Structure 1
Amino acid sequence: MASPAFEAIVEDFEFLEDWEDRYRYVIEQGKALTPLDKALKVPATKVHGCASQVWLHPIVEDGVFRFDGESDAMIVQGLIAVLRSLYNDLSVPDVTKTDARGELARLGLNDHLSAQRSNGLRSMIERIQQVATENLAANG
């Protein structure tokens, strides 16, 4: 089961029937994020494969995964917020077991994002999974 924060987004999406409202909701989630410190916007945190500029800064403390991120595109910033609700505060093993595509399919995002946005979302998920897998291998 997904985190309570992600479940809240799923419930909100069920209430919002119009995709314009859903996009607006995702954008509002992104606007609520704290901007990433400029010192963290470096090549090591940049996500490649996104049409827009995206940086993800993962943090693992005591086996708990969290990440912050930022994008120069409003909808992508919102997608970062959605991914944070899905992954933040999970144990590293739970991050590696999370079926992000399946969970996001519950929102219907797969059918309503452009090919470029879908590729970017996939790249962000892959980066998160890579960090968690590497952390698990190093500390597991």
Structure 2
Amino acid sequence: MASNPFGTDIHAEDVVAVMAELKGWEDRYRQVIQWGKKLPVMEEALKQEKVLVSGCESSVWLVLNCDNGHWDIQADSDARIVRGLIAIVLAAFNGKTSQQIAEFDLPHYFEQLNLINHLSPSRGNGLQAIVATIRERAMSEL
């Protein structure tokens, strides 16, 4: 499996806990950027047209592999904030089974993070496109 997007074992609950401690959108935004900086850069050879996520304003590459029933997700973007959003999604989905991905309450997760209402409509749509791509692939394995 690829390395964890944060370089350590961190889960959605950890992301929620960190974000809950921050005051104001600017602090949350900075934290998202920091997580994006920790996201491993995808190998250039993997950044192919066929793995580009449609519906994103910036370029987002998403490579999904199911190994022994658990998803290994690699993703990258040319936009700093999107890299951070990807890291937040990977904290919820990377290393999980298709069933766990299907059952994860993503709307509640994003609500707890208090992010969506601060994103531009195009960023929000892009985030939803990333999530939809992961969920569609995971559901195809159920």
Same fold (TM over 0.5): yes
The corresponding residue for 1:126 is 132
- How far the C-alpha of 1:4 sits from its partner, in A, is 5.7
1:23 pairs with 2:34: no
The corresponding residue for 1:104 is 110
Offset from partner CA, 1:31-57 (integer Å, 9 cap, x none):
001111111111221101011000111
Task: Specify which of 84, 90, 109 is matched with residue 78 of structure 1.
Answer: 84
Task: Specify which of 4, 10, 13 is matched with residue 7 of structure 1.
Answer: 13
Q: Is the 8 Å Cα contact of residues 46 and 54 (structure 1) preserved in structure 2? A: yes
In the aligned structure 1, how far is the partner of 2:136 from the partner of 2:43?
Answer: 22
How does the TM-score come out when normalised to structure 1? 0.91
- How far the C-alpha of 1:66 sits from its partner, in A, is 2.2
1:114 pairs with 2:120: yes
- SS for the counterpart of 2:39 is coil
Change in Cα spacing, 1:4 to 1:34, as seen in structure 2 (3 Å) is closer
The corresponding residue for 1:87 is 93
- Greater mean deviation of Cα atoms: 33-42 or 69-78: 33-42
Aligned residues: 134
- Which consecutive residues of structure 1, in runs of 5 or more, have no partner in the other structure? none
- SS for the counterpart of 1:44 is helix
- How far the C-alpha of 1:80 sits from its partner, in A, is 0.5
Q: Runs of at least 4 residues of structure 1 off by over 6 A?
A: none
- Which consecutive residues of structure 2, in runs of 5 or more, have no partner in the other structure? 1-8
Aligned sequence identity (%)? 36
The corresponding residue for 2:65 is 59
Q: Is the 8 Å Cα contact of residues 27 and 75 (structure 1) preserved in structure 2? A: yes
- SS for the counterpart of 2:126 is helix
Offset from partner CA, 1:48-81 (integer Å, 9 cap, x none):
1011000111121110112010000000000000
Change in Cα spacing, 1:27 to 1:4, as seen in structure 2 (3 Å) is closer
Q: Is the 8 Å Cα contact of residues 16 and 109 (structure 2) preserved in structure 1? A: no
In the aligned structure 1, how far is the partner of 2:98 from the partner of 2:69?
Answer: 6
